Structure 1
Amino acid sequence: MPTPPSPGYALVTGASSGIGADIAREYARRGKPLVLTARRVERLEALAAELSAQVPCVVIATDLADPAAPAKLFAETQARGLFVDTLVNNAGYGVPGRYLSADWKTHADSLQVLLTSVAHLTHLYLPAMEAAGRGRILNVASLAGLVPPTAGHTLYGATKAWLIRFSETLDQESRPRGVHVTALCPGMTYTEFHDVNGMREKVSKLPKGIWLSSADVARLGVDAVESGRTRLVTGRANKLIAGLSKYLPDRLARALLASKSKDFRDAD
């Protein structure tokens, strides 16, 4: 295999806003060329225009709810001769309400974005990283994957728990071959996420001390994967919540979280 170009590109999914856009900014600040992908091409182009003075930026519009999208994205980067040595699986969203309040197509699309596309993209890009003996995969999970379940947003916490375990297992497999895999687990973060799922009014009532900016989360996440940390929970308050969830008796932890869940979960 020919020696891959250096430095390689960082491919960031869901790069049009929020944590994804700020991860792109953080990598640009560090001099890392970028492949930016999401559905909203106008936003991607605006971000590329912002960052192109710092690093080369390639925009590829992709809807990861389409099962064919990962293979098409991979084929496009291959056709352009781009060696992706950093994969950021960030794209995602929550479906509010109880499980039966949404139709199956809505749930199927969310699973495709949150779970299947992550596994597929990783399977496509990891071989070249291992062959080159270097690579980084940053999977944006959530504190929701580490705490007891609550009613509402039924699939979100479950898929994030899967993503954390997937990341940890993959890191053990690939670290000896020079590839670090990190599960980034933010708690409440100032992004459009809660506007999209209609929860902004509810979550705005939560204490200000548990929130972080998406720029801070992005910086911490990039630091974590570059230094080889397998899992990172961002923010002291979130670390405390994750710790209590782990060490409190399961029944008590579920009861405590359920009593507060109405502040950040729509279960209707």
Structure 2
Amino acid sequence: MKTDQYALITGASSGIGEAIAREYARRGKPLILTARRKERLDALAAELGRSVPVTVIAADLADPAAPKTLFEAVQAAVLKVDTLVNNAGYGVPGRYLSASWQTHRDFIQVLQTAAAELTYLFLPAMEAQRHGRILNVASLAGLVHASAGHTLYGASKAWLIRFSECLALESKPRGVHVTALCPGFTYSEFHDVNGMRESISKLPKALWLTSEQVAKIGVDAVEAGKTRVISGRINNLIAWMARYLPDAVSNALVGGKAKQFRNAE
């Protein structure tokens, strides 16, 4: 792993993004941290800055101008980025028509458009030096059958997985590894933000991994050049079942379980 170039991590203020920042810091990788909440980024930078160089650039990726502005800020600071982690994301609870179009538009901007644009901006330099890493934090939800509620979440994560797979085929011959990380249920504040903590906590503990475990799995995978990685044995089994069981059976299983924790109203 090169330690003279930076890892840029979006959504680094909490959850899996913060854990990935800690994992890279543990490995001696300089960091550029970005998210909306600058105070959290500053606190994390103060901590991790004791072991590696850390730069904070606050940005709201729901703003269509943010990816280019972020790229220009990195260029102005004369920082070289050979690792991009597209982690920023969240969920929109309820059925599709229960939220405004502005809400959905911002969601698509953050989870799909910003990830695609940041990749487009930072990838050329990686390919030019024939070394780079792009870790896209997708979800097990992008691999299993759909359920009611959180209408765009699984669809966006499925898109991110396919985007990563195509990009990996294009870029690996040029020295750039691209990996889609597909976590299942992960201990973080994701479910608190979505108002799902009470219902989601009823699920078996065996389904859960910590953010730290997921981060290590993801970083190990992109360094090894794996195109896709699913965190945890149970999640791998779920993905296998979703792929090989008849659609009617998979739909019934996913839909039935999702009703326990997803608000579809």
Q: The TM-score by the shorter chain falls in which range?
A: over 0.9
Per-residue displacement from partner, 1:60-101 (whole Å, max 9, x unpaired)? 000000000000000000001111100000000000000000
Q: Which residue of the other structure, out of 17, 29, 32, is the alignment partner of 1:32?
A: 29
Partner of 2:148: 151
Aligned equivalent of 1:7: 4
TM-superposition CA deviations, 1:119-163 (whole Å, max 9, x none): 000000000000010000000000000000000000000000000
Q: What corresponds to 1:238 in structure 2? A: 235
Residue in 1 that maps onto 2:39: 42
**Letter of the structure 2 residue corresponding to residue 254 of structure 1:** N
2:195 paired with 1:195: no
Q: For residues 166 and 106 of structure 1, what CA distance do their matches in structure 2 show?
A: 23
In structure 2, the partner of 1:22 is: 19
Alignment identity in percent?
70
* 1:95 alignment partner in structure 2: 92
Offset of residue 108 of structure 1: 0.4
Amino acid of the residue matched to residue 228 of structure 2?
A: R
- Which of 143, 153, 162 lines up with 2:159 in the alignment? 162
TM-score by length of 1: 0.97
Alpha-carbon shift at residue 256 of structure 1 (Å) = 1.1
Report 1:114-125 matches (<5 A).
114-125=111-122
2:3·2:29 contact (CA, 8 Å) conserved in 1?
Answer: no
Equivalent residue, structure 1, for 2:55: 58
Q: How many residues align?
A: 264
The offset of 1:251, in angstroms, is 1.5
Residue identity in the other structure for 1:146: L
> 2:110 matched to 1:128?
no
Give yes or no for the alignment of 1:185 onto 2:178.
no
Gaps of 5+ in 2: none
Tell me the distance in 1 between the aligned counterparts of 2:173 and 2:47.
37
Residue 172 (structure 1) aligned with residue 169 (structure 2): yes
Give 1:210's aligned residue. Answer: 207
Aligned 8 A contact 2:36 2:59 in 1: yes
How far residue 262 of structure 1 moved from its aligned partner, in angstroms, is 1.3
1:126 counterpart letter in structure 2: L
Q: Deviations over 1:209-234 (max 9, x none)?
A: 00000000001100000111110000
Between the aligned partners of 2:229 and 2:154, the Cα distance in structure 1 is 16
The alpha carbon displacement at 1:264 in A equals 2.7
> TM-score, length-normalised on structure 2?
0.99
Q: Aligned-pair distance for 1:6? A: 5.8
For 2:261 and 2:190, the matched residues in 1 are separated by 12
Could you say what secondary structure the match of 2:62 adopts?
Answer: coil
Root-mean-square deviation (CA), in Å? Answer: 0.8
Letter of the structure 2 residue corresponding to residue 59 of structure 1: V
**Shift of residue 198, structure 1, vs aligned partner:** 0.6
1:251 to 243, 248, 251: 248
Change in 2 beyond 3 A, CA 1:216/1:26 = same
Q: What SS does structure 2 have at the residue aligned with 1:198? A: coil
Provide the rounded CA distance (Å) in 1 between the counterparts of 2:82 and 2:174.
13
Write the distance in 2 (CA, Å) between the matches of 1:128 and 1:264: 43
Cα distance in 2 for residues equivalent to 1:58 and 1:264:
38
1:263: which partner in 2? 260
SS in 1 for 2:64: coil
Deviation at 1:33? 0.2
State the shift of 1:205 in Å.
0.3
SS at match of 1:36: strand
User: Matched residues in 2 for 1:198 and 1:228: separation?
Assistant: 36
The gaps in structure 1 that reach 5 residues or longer are: none
Residue 110 of structure 2, aligned match among 108, 113, 126: 113
For residues 11-39 of structure 1, the C-alpha deviation after alignment (integer angstroms, 9 at most, x for no partner) is 00000000000100000000000000000
AA paired with 2:51?
A: Q
